[in-house]
Structure formats: structure tokens, C-alpha cells
Amino acid sequence: MSTTTATSLPASGLLRFATAGAVDDGKSTLIGRLLHDSRSLLADQLDAVRQASLERGDEHLDLAMLTDGLRAEREQGITIDVAHRYFETARRAFIIADTPGHAQYTRNMVTGASTADLAIVLADARHGLTEQSHRHAVLAGLLRVRHVVLAVNKMDLAGYDRSVFERIAEDFGDRAERIGLGAVTAIPIAALHGDNVVDPSPAMPWYEGPTLLEHLETVATRTADDGPLRLPVQYVIRAVGGYTGCAGQLAAGVAMEGQEMLHLPSGTRTRIAALDSPDGPVRHAAAPLSVTVRLADDVEVHRGDLLCAVESPPVASDRLDATVCWMSAGRAMKPGSRLLLKHTTKTVRATVTDLHHRLDVTTLRREPADELALNDIGGAGLRLDEPVHCDPYAHNRFTGGGVLIDESTNATVAAVMIDRATTVDEGAPRAAR
């Protein structure tokens, strides 16, 4: 059997990005334009959009219809759910999450952006930054989205005026600094006509930066050596012939044949005897590839366990302080609430011990709170019935994040980002840095 280290993705790998912005800022049109101008549409998809645009009397192709997949969305002309689209160019593959702009769909944006490497925040050139622009920038910061693009859209309706773009970009830069956002790139575009989306705009010769697609194709994403090795065990495979493997998705780091690793919760040290990927055996694999690890020793491994780097294991904790986005319309989050915490591949019972605050995402002010209602974001303390092995969300979005589940309905009611974990062994807090 051959051994390989390659994958089928383009050389620059996969970029997940989310779009955010107020209603009518043009999120869905922008995505449609990206798909159209990068020639990622099938002929029948383009014909369908062309026919529907004619029937509606539109002067231009309504490319927003490519992502407004739900009937209710098309009828209302707004995005109400997260729509995902995949496309690729010769340089990179992409997964797009088109998220709603309305405040009442904050939970949808959190869901869409939680796995994104980059967020595109749209602003209408005529109106500048709005409350929703600020909200989405804050959410991108909370979710530790590594790169943010400010796309100043509808520049055609602002006369392609350079001063308009520069004023909005400067305002956003000031806000980004207060929030602590990472790298921010501002690009002036007109999605309806395709200016600076895939091709440079002749109407804005004063802009010398990359087009949006050029930036998306070249922006640096997570590298293989980001963080120590983390492999939550999803499934243990025991096959005929004595084959035993621990299957899961690498949450961080690089796994290599012969590498020493630590099994948690047992604390047993062992080595990687062999690695299998979806494409066959490999000598090494990097996050976020899904792999099956064959161990050199007979270690008793179960779903929910963790294989990790020996020199830097995560914290074992049953007391967490976390940032929570509450997603349930049917109940509020209150001290004493009993829930399930799904953390990586493990699920444990959890009790809300206290609410620290509710965050005003417009002013960034932390307010006292007795409960968190639908779409509220706040800080909370959780006590777990048994420890989980976790990292601060700031260090690892996978082992530092989770969801809360209503035990009676099995519905997901909150997204959780771990800020602080109390170690079981030391009884001392470990804070996110």
C-alpha cells in the first residue's frame, strides 16, 4: 500500500469565511458575484437566475438569488438562515457562510462565523457604519476570527468617491482597535457591477490594493504548527485482523508517525504507530485533517477521550467561566439552570452557577444581568459533573468552545467560549491570555 502526505485541495488549502452586514448592504449579491465572476456556476444555475431576473423585471442579474435558498428569504428579500456555498479557484478552495444581518438572528451569525478564518463586514458606502456593522465587528472579535475585511459596498452609488471610502475605513479602523480585532483589510467594491470583487475596477483607479478575491486567495490561514497537538477521539475502530484505530479530526498541531503522545484522561504515554487519512496511510497529518491513529501500546481508549502533546496538555477542569451566546427562544439562561455541555466529542452535565454580565455589543458595556434571553451575549460560570480537558478559546477555538444542550428537548440552546478554567488537580484558575 502506498504512503502519501498530500490532499486533493489546491495549494493554498481551504479558507472558510463568513459575510456579515446590515440588511440591504448586499451580502448575498456579493457572494453571487464572487461565484459568477470566478466562473463557479453551472450553466443551468446561471440560466435559472437569468430567467428569474427577467420575470421580476430586474435590470441586472439578481445574483442574490444564488444564496437566498429559502422561500421565506426570497419573499422577504433578506437572509434569515445561514447559507453555505463551496467553490474553488486554481489557488484555493472556499466555504462561504452567508449570515443574516438582523439583530434577532445574532445566533445565526455566531453559528456561521464560529468556524470562519475570515469575516467580511459589509458597509453601504452611502450610509457608512451602522449599529449592525459594530455588532458584527464585535462578534468577529469575540469569536476570534483571525482576519476581517471591511468591504465598502455600493461605491457606484457614492460616485466612486475615494474620500467616502477612506472616511468609512478610518472609522472602522478606530472601532477595530477598541475591540482588539486582528488584521483588518478595507476594500472598496460595487458587488452589483463586479467592481474590485474578482476584477480590478476601472472606475476606481485610485485604489491600488488587491481585489476581494485576490485577498481571499492569498490571506494566510492557520498553519500546521499552530498550537500543540489535540486529537479528540470521535470513534474507536476495532476491525477484523486486530486493527484498532482512534478516529477523529485534528483540532490543532501536527501528528507524526513515531511521535510520543499523551492519552487523557488516563495520563498514559504512548506513541503513534501509524496514521491513516481518508486518502490512505500518511506519515504525518496537520489540523484540521481527519485521521485514524494506531497506537503503539494497548491503551484503553473511548469516544470523548483526548490524545495530545506530552509537553503541553490541556487543563482538566470542572469549573468554567465562559462567554455565552444564548440561542433559545423558549427559555432563558439563569443561575441554577441544568443543561448538557457538549465539548469536543464529550458530553457532560452542567449547572449555571452565576451570570457575570450581559454585553451590550454596540457600546461594549458590560451590564448586570439576572438572565440571558434569545441572542443575548454574556459571561457565565458553569459547574460540570465531571471534568473536561479544555483550552481557553483564545488559544484553541475547538477545545476552547462548546455548546449547551437542553436535556429535555435535545435542542442546542447556547454557544460557549471558554475564558477561564479551574484545574481539578491544582484548584487554581487558569485564565485566557
- Indicate the pLDDT class of residue 51, thresholds 50, 70 and 90: confident
Give the least confident one: 76-80, 214-218, 220-224, 328-332: 76-80
Other Cβ atoms closer than 10 A to 213: 20
pLDDT of residue 7: 47
Per DSSP, 111 falls in state H
The separation between the first and the last C-alpha atoms of the chain, rounded to the nearest angstrom, is 45
| 428 pLDDT higher than 60 | no
Give the least confident one: 163-167, 170-174, 182-186: 182-186
Give the least confident one: 77-86, 152-161, 190-199, 304-313: 77-86
- Indicate the pLDDT class of residue 138, thresholds 50, 70 and 90: confident
135: its cell numbers: 455588532
| 183 pLDDT higher than 70 | yes
Give the least confident one: 19-28, 110-119, 153-162, 268-277: 19-28
Pick the most confident of 26-40, 66-80, 402-416. 402-416
Residues 198, 157: contact at Cβ < 8 Å?
Answer: no
Separation between Cα atoms, residue 222 and residue 205, nearest integer Å: 33
16: Cβ contacts below 8 Å, ≥ 6 apart: 94, 95, 97, 115, 116, 117, 118
Separation between Cα atoms, residue 105 and residue 108, nearest integer Å: 5
pLDDT of residue 424: 65
Task: Give, in order, the Cα–Cα distances in Å from 308 to each of 46, 293, 422.
Answer: 47, 12, 19
Separation between Cα atoms, residue 11 and residue 92, nearest integer Å: 7
247: Cβ contacts below 8 Å, ≥ 6 apart: 233, 234, 235, 236, 237, 290, 291, 292, 293
| 76 pLDDT higher than 60 | no
Beta strands in 391-426 (DSSP E): 401-405, 412-423
- Greater pLDDT, 321 or 116: 321
Task: Give, in order, the Cα–Cα distances in Å from 379 to each of 152, 335, 355.
Answer: 32, 12, 6
- Helix 131-142 and helix 162-179, axial crossing angle in degrees, nearest 10: 40
DSSP SS3 for 274: strand
- Indicate the pLDDT class of residue 213, thresholds 50, 70 and 90: very high
- Greater pLDDT, 379 or 70: 379
Mean per-residue pLDDT for 241-268? 93
pTM over 0.85: no
| 102 pLDDT higher than 80 | no
pLDDT of residue 63: 77
pLDDT of residue 8: 54
- Greater pLDDT, 396 or 110: 396
Q: Are strands 284-286 and 366-367 parallel, antiparallel or unpaired?
A: unpaired
Question: Dihedral angle at the C-alpha atoms of 213, 217, 222, 223, nearest 10 degrees?
Answer: -170
Residues 135, 359: contact at Cβ < 8 Å?
Answer: no
Separation between Cα atoms, residue 357 and residue 366, nearest integer Å: 6
Where b means 16+ CB within 10 Å and e means fewer, 328-357 reads beebbbeeebebbbbbbbbebebebeebbb
Residue with cell 477545545: 399
Separation between Cα atoms, residue 156 and residue 159, nearest integer Å: 5
